[in-house]
Structures are given as structure tokens and as C-alpha cells.
Amino acid sequence: MTELVAYLISGIALGSSFALIGSGFVVVHRVTRVVNFAQGSVAIVGGMTSATLLDGLLPHGLGEIAAVLLCGVVGLVIGLLAIGRRGTPPLISLIVTLGASMLVSAAIIWLWGQDPVAPPGLGGSVTILGAEVERQRLLVVVATGVAFAALALFFSRSYLGKGLTASASNPFAARMVGIDVRKMGLLAFGLAGILGGLAGVLIAPSNPLSFYSDLPLVLSGFAAAVFGGLTSPLRTLFGGLCLGVAGQLTAGYLNGSYQTEMALLLMLVIMIIRSRAFVQEEVK
Amino acid sequence: MLTIDRVSRRFGGVYANQDVTLTVAEGELRGIIGPNGAGKSTLFNLIAGHIRAESGTISLAGRRIDRLPAHARARRGVGIVFQGARVFPGMSLLANVMVGAHAHTRAGVVAAALRPPSQRREERAIRAQAEDCLSRVGLLDWASRPAEGLPLGQQRRLQVARALAGLPRVLLLDEPASGLRAAERQELAELIGELRRDGTTILLVEHDVGLVTSLAERITVLDLGRVIADGTPSEVTSDPAVIKAYLGTGDTHAADR
């Protein structure tokens, strides 16, 4: 029982980071129809940067925030590369994001080396239903909840959020009412960078990151986003949590090295089940 | 208000618009008619900014807009109503119209982020303005309904409300009557008449000659990309060149409809 509780909570924490990365996919895809595969590398940049900044440069809190903001800038630059040129087809932009992801990976190796890096997190642990839980994992869950609530408010309340929603809903009509759809796309890339960076900063203290972490992170995040049909942040959150919990249960009761395969398998199953929904999306 | 000066545009070597010149005065309701393939849609798209002119200039309130992208023209005051269903699905009617108003009034990203109280005031003002626009087109009772699934006639009225919310200097209507039933067409004609009385400058591009002659005070007739006539409804409908243009394309009854 305590084992199960521990797996569930660490699964939810890990799933939260997948959900954050996945919501980055969703935000960009909704507005630009581009799948941004650089999303995982941005998360790693976030984790690495916070480790460097917290190593004597900035206090806790500031260091993490600075790392997340830097990821927003990185996301924006990737956006400029991918959709900066007017009229770039989404598939070409997708390839550009893949290339950007490799560039970022190279930069990570150059700046931080190949070994996993873990920034200091919240120390200590608490006992929940008999299970020892690191406080950092609880922080991940809480921060993700706050991030999703802020995202929902941003989309429904602010002008920029409405502009993004309108651009996603009908780009042609959005231009007609004076919305610069390309600028909205760049904004989405920046926002995705912030979400990815947040995921990296939060997860790195308990799951050390290296450039190798890119693929597992991007696949899991993408699987979560696919669960949300690449359009719904809320269903992405749910998908991410399911994926995290399933992965931790697999790791705990079967074998830890199956986690990524688990994500891939779930993604395939979801894509096959929901393929009709995707086709309808395309037709619209 | 809107000045189009010797504007030309070719597609594959064929002129879709050739030296088109026309001026719409403030508060005027100008109709653009012409048989199929006359270049009406091209002219509309040139003004809206979907395509660029090869030569000639387009000015709005004395400032050139022909080099601006479509969204920037919208901000300068080109309000657009398309014939297609160009609403924002998944958003309520009110939200649709509010997007139109926002795009116009936004002070700046940073200001909006730093001054929440004033932004809240602005938000309230925008909501009130959006409701006013909805009531002008007679859709206020439906404000909270989702925009998808609306009948075509009401989708078009919603587009009118959204364009009005952006406080346009000139309202461009692209074939607003196409696909509408007779009753909807009548309602639309009444709406356009009301907008005209409120002082809105309107450019009405329409295939339905009868609708245009009943509403517009001046009509510009296009044929094969050129302006062939310009004048009051009775002048242009009795113009031999206009009659020939409509007869020549086999649309025999259009000119006297």
C-alpha cells in the first residue's frame, strides 16, 4: 500500500511535467498548426540553467524564475526560426523545430557536458499515508496546478489570450479583425518555452536531466498532447498524469527501462483510437 | 475616405484589375457590380490586403495602405464582412464581437499587463461596445450562444457586428446577400440601410444588381477588370456599355432586374 502511494505520487509529479511540456505542444499547435519538437530540449535547458544559477549566482526562487524566463526566450527564438518567414508550411516548420532541437542539444553538451545535472530542490520529505514523499515532488504538483489555472485565466481573460484563441479558431478571420496572426504564433512559441522550462526546472531536482532526457521528455509530452487532441490543455493535463502514473507503476512493478516504451505504446493506442478525431480536425 | 488610384493586378498575364480608379466619400454607400469575372473579388481582396496590387495606390483617410499586411489595414479602419462563414467557432457571439473591439482598442501588451485596474475598465467598455454592436445587427438576445451552427444570414450579421466593433472608417461588404433566402436578404438590405443612415461609409461588392441599385447612391461597374461606368443607379443601368457587358456574358436579365 505505501509502495503504491509512493508510485502514485511520484507518477503524478512526473506526469505533471509531461503535462506542462504537452501543453506547450498544444499552445503552439493550436495557433500555428506546427508540432514543436524542440519542446523537450527547452525543458532540459531550463533544468540545466537553474542548476547553474542556483550554484551561488542567485537565491532559490529567483534562480528558477530566471531559468524559466530564459526558456521563454529560447522558445521565441525557435519560433522565429520555425515560422518567422511568412507562409512557411507547418510541415516545414516541424522539420525546423527538429533541427533546432538538435542545435539546442549540441549547445547543452557544449555548455554543461554529457552528465546528468540536478539543481538543488526543496529538501526534505513528508509522510503521506505511510509513504515517504519528497517535498520537491509535491512542489511539482502544486506548481503545475497553478500554471494550468494561470493558463486558463490567460486564455479566457486577457486580450492576448483571446487573440491566441481567435487565431487558433479562424486565422483568416483573425487577420480581418486586425490580429497579427504571425505575432500570435511567435507568442505561442514563447509561451511554450516558458511551460517547457517550468517542467524542466521542476522535475530536474528529483529526476536529473542530461541531453539524453530530450527524447523521453518530448515523447511523453507529445503523448500527453495527443491525448488532448493537440488542442485541449485540460485533456493534456489528464493525459500527462495518466502517463506519469502508468510509467511509475511500470517502473515500480516491472522494469524502469520500460518507461519511454510505455509512453510510446500509450501514444500509439490513443492515436489509433482517436484517429477519426484527427481526420476531422484536418478537414475543418 | 477610400481612394483607389489606377490599381492593376494580373493573374497569369491576364488583367483581373486594370487601372481601376474610384473614390468613396465619407458617409457614402458605394456599390460595385459587374458580371462574373469582372474583377469584383480581386478589387475586394486588393483593398482587404489578401493580394497586393502591381501598380497603383490605395489610400484610406489620406494615408496609403496598399503596402500594409491585411491585419494592419484592419487596424487602420478597413472593416470586412466576407461572404463565407468567417466567424470564430467555439466562441460565443459576444466573444466574437469583443475580439473585433479588442484588436482596435488595445493600448499595448505591457500596459495591459501592468495596469490591471484600467484594463478592467477597458474590458467593461469593450463589453458594452460589443453588446451595442450586437444590438445594432439584432443579435443581442443571442449574445451568449456559440457562434457555430448559426444560420448563414445570422453569421453574416455577426460578422457585421464584429467589423463594427473595430470602429471601421470604411466597411467592406463582399457579396453579403449570396446564399441568403429572400427574407434574410430583405433583413440584410434593411440593416445596410440603417448602417448607411448612421453615417457608416460602406463599399458594397455584390452580384445582385437589384440589391445594389436599391441601396447605393453611386455605383461603379466593372467588366473584364476595368471600370466601364460610374454614376447613380439609374445612370449606370441605362448605360449602353453596362447593358452590353451583361448581355455579352449571357446574363441577359441582370441589368434590368
Q: Give me the interface pTM, i.e. the ipTM.
A: 0.78
Contacts with B103 from chain A: Cβ below 8 Å: 163, 177-179
Is B186 within the bounds of a domain? no
Nearest CA among A182, A153, A23, A170 for reference residue A88: A182
Question: B60 and B110 share a domain?
Answer: no
Is B97 within the bounds of a domain? yes
Unique residue bearing C-alpha cell 450579421: B157
Residue type, A6: A
Q: How far apart are CA B179 and CA B161, in angstroms?
A: 19
Q: How far apart are CA B245 and CA B255, in angstroms?
A: 9
Question: B59 and B70 share a domain?
Answer: yes
The DSSP bridge partners found for residue B172 are: B80, B203
Is B192 within the bounds of a domain? no
What are the pLDDT digits (tens) for B57-106? 999 999 999 999 988 898 888 998 988 768 888 889 998 998 888 766 55
Would the CB atoms of B70 and A176 count as touching at under 8 Å?
yes
Unique residue bearing C-alpha cell 527524447: A215
Q: Are strands B55-60 and B29-33 parallel, antiparallel or unpaired?
A: unpaired
Question: B70 and B82 share a domain?
Answer: no
Phi, psi values for residue B8, rounded to 5°: -130, 150
Residues 170 to 209 of B: which have CB under 8 A from any A CB? none
Would the CB atoms of B75 and A178 count as touching at under 8 Å?
yes
Check CB contact of B163 with chain A, cutoff 8 Å.
yes
Greater pLDDT, B248 or A73:
A73
Q: Does pTM top 0.90 for this prediction? A: no
Is B144 within the bounds of a domain? yes
Q: Give me the pLDDT at residue B13, please.
A: 85
Question: B85 and B153 share a domain?
Answer: yes
Question: B96 and B156 share a domain?
Answer: yes
The whole-angstrom distance between B251's CA and the closest CA on chain A is: 32
Is B180 within the bounds of a domain? no
Question: B71 and B134 share a domain?
Answer: no
- Number of A:B CB contacts under 8 A? 69
Residues 56 to 95 of B: which have CB under 8 A from any A CB? 69-72, 74-75, 80, 82, 86-91, 95
Residue B223, classed as helix, strand or coil, is: strand
The whole-angstrom distance between A208's CA and the closest CA on chain B is: 35
Is B196 within the bounds of a domain? no
Is a pLDDT exceeding 50 seen at residue B109?
Answer: no
Average pLDDT score over residue span A189-201: 95
Is a pLDDT exceeding 90 seen at residue B247?
Answer: no
Q: How far apart are CA A134 and CA A127, in angstroms?
A: 9
Question: B82 and B54 share a domain?
Answer: no
Q: Give me the pLDDT at residue A178, please.
A: 86
Closest CB to A173: pick one of B75, B87, B90.
B87
Is a pLDDT exceeding 60 seen at residue B254?
Answer: no
Closest CB to B88: pick one of A160, A166, A175.
A166
Helix (H) or strand (E) holding B16: strand B14-24
Question: B97 and B147 share a domain?
Answer: yes
Residue B57, classed as helix, strand or coil, is: strand
Q: Give me the pLDDT at residue B104, please.
A: 61
Closest CB to B162: pick one of A177, A180, A181.
A177
What lies within 8 Å, CB to CB, of B106 at 6+ separation is A159, B112
What are the pLDDT digits (tens) for A57-84? 889 889 999 999 999 999 999 999 999 8
Number of domains comprising chain B = 2
Is B254 within the bounds of a domain? yes
Phi, psi values for residue B146, rounded to 5°: -70, 150
Phi, psi values for residue A58, rounded to 5°: -135, 150
Helix (H) or strand (E) holding A246: helix A233-253
Contacts with B155 from chain A: Cβ below 8 Å: none
Is a pLDDT exceeding 80 seen at residue A100?
Answer: yes
Q: Give me the pLDDT at residue B108, please.
A: 47
Record the cell numbers describing residue A252, joined without a space: 515500480
Q: Give me the pLDDT at residue A277, please.
A: 61
Residue A187, classed as helix, strand or coil, is: helix
- HSE value, Cβ hemisphere, 13 Å, CA-based, for B163: 30
Check CB contact of B104 with chain A, cutoff 8 Å.
yes
Is B94 within the bounds of a domain? yes
Domain span at B132: 78-167
| CATH code, residues A2-119+129-283 | 1.10.3470
Question: B163 and B82 share a domain?
Answer: yes
Question: B89 and B162 share a domain?
Answer: yes
A42 class by beta-carbon count within 10 Å (0-12 exposed, 13-18 middle, 19+ buried): buried
As a whole number of Å, the CA-based R_g of chain A is 18
Residue B228, classed as helix, strand or coil, is: strand
CATH number (domain holding residue B130): 3.40.50.300
Check CB contact of A123 with chain B, cutoff 8 Å.
no
The whole-angstrom distance between A204's CA and the closest CA on chain B is: 30
Q: Tell me the average pLDDT of chain A.
A: 87
CA A168 distance to own-chain centroid:
19
Question: B85 and B55 share a domain?
Answer: no
A205 class by beta-carbon count within 10 Å (0-12 exposed, 13-18 middle, 19+ buried): buried
